């Protein structure tokens, strides 16, 4: 079942890329802070690399001004996410989350079966805003779209 507003972020182990690759618990990562988490099908894929992540990079300062941590989630290993962050010039502080086994993605109920495209299990394209580990806003994209999970849409949704 897909996570919903009012639900608590599930606690699983994930790899956090913040200069280095290190394991962390999502419960601790979301506790006591405001977080914008966006998920996407994969590092180095066209829409993710050309539009979704770059939108959050260009609006990162606006999230910082609101004291909101920004995190990017994909079902990729930590080394791929680290290389992608470097290639995209992700600013320090915008955290990349590598969910190589899709455990966090499945716990959120936001998995995508990409086997027909040779991609296996991936993360659906989405964005959520949480406060102290509780989801306040959730936007999940229809297949093949990038409309409701952009940085601009999420900034506007959080204002309300």
Q: Where are the extended beta strands (E) located within 8-101? A: 13-18, 20-25, 34-39, 68-74, 95-98
Tokens for 78? Answer: 């930590």
Are 21 and 15 spatial neighbours (Cβ–Cβ below 8 Å)? yes
24 catalytic, yes or no? no
Q: Find residue 54's DSSP bridge partners.
A: none
Among 35, 43, 48, 72, the one annotated catalytic = 48
Cα angle, residue 103 at apex, residues 99 and 107 outer, rounded to 5°? 120
Nearest of 48, 91, 92, 95 to residue 69 by alpha carbon: 95
Of all helices (H) and strands (E), which one includes residue 61?
A: helix 60-65
CA separation (Å) from 103 to 31, 73, 151?
A: 19, 12, 25
Active site residues: 48
């Amino acid at each position: 079942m897909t996570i919903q507003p009012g639900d608590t972020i599930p606690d699983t182990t994930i790899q956090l890329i913040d200069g280095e690759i290190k394991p962390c618990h999502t419960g601790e990562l979301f506790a006591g802070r405001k977080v914008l988490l966006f998920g996407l099908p994969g590092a180095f894929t066209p829409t993710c690399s050309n539009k979704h992540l770059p939108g959050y990079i260009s609006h990162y300062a606006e999230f910082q001004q609101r004291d909101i941590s920004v995190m990017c989630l994909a079902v990729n290993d930590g080394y791929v996410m680290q290389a992608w962050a470097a290639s995209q010039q992700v600013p320090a502080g915008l955290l990349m989350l590598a969910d190589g086994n899709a455990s966090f993605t499945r716990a959120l109920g936001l998995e995508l079966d990409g086997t027909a495209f040779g991609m296996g299990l991936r993360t659906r394209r989405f964005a959520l805003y949480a406060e102290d580990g509780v989801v306040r806003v959730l936007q999940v994209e229809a297949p093949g779209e990038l409309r409701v999970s952009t940085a601009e849409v999420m900034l506007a949704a959080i204002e309300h």
